[in-house]
Amino acid sequence: MALIEIFRQIEMTSTSTALRESIWMFPIVETSHVLGLALSVGAAIWVDLRLMGVSMRKYTVSEMFAFVKPVMTVGFTVMMVTGMLLFWAHALKCYESGYFRLKLLLLVAAGLNILVFHATVDRRRTAWDQSPRPPLQAQLSGLLSIALWLAIVAAGRLMAYTL
């Protein structure tokens, strides 16, 4: 079965139709998505700025991460669940959207950045955790994370305006 057929089947479900045509549910899901995004990305940017050594230098990276991790986790969960619901409501429009495809690629890149960071430089965090400026690899990972999340948000907004 072709990918477009899968997307068409998704959009033809009663759940998709109900969500898309609801006066209340779609705006609630969309608003929750933006709020989850603000929590998740906002908290991630705090950590990224600390990794870059440009803010909150009096706190260790571990302290900073422990402080924002619950907020980031809740925000990310809300963002992902509501993002999937938004996709479910408009699967065919997402299929046709270049911004949707770009957003997915950027999300994969952001995930890879996180995986590479945790598999490499973060494993040695005890050696540099106290430093006001973490090692260059950590700084670059933080900078790349900020750039990717800003691009993800931009692609999502552009996608929303073109659907």
Residues 6+ apart with CB under 8 A from 60: 129, 130
Can you give the pLDDT at residue 98?
Answer: 95
Can you give the pLDDT at residue 96?
Answer: 93
Provide the pLDDT confidence category of residue 117 given band limits of 50, 70 and 90. Answer: very high
pLDDT in tens, 8-58: 999 999 999 999 999 999 999 999 999 999 999 999 999 999 999 999 999
Can you give the pLDDT at residue 160?
Answer: 85
pTM: 0.91
| Percentage of the chain exceeding pLDDT 70 | 100
Please, what is the average pLDDT of the chain?
A: 94
Q: How far is CA 104 from the centre of its chain?
A: 10
Can you give the pLDDT at residue 94?
Answer: 94
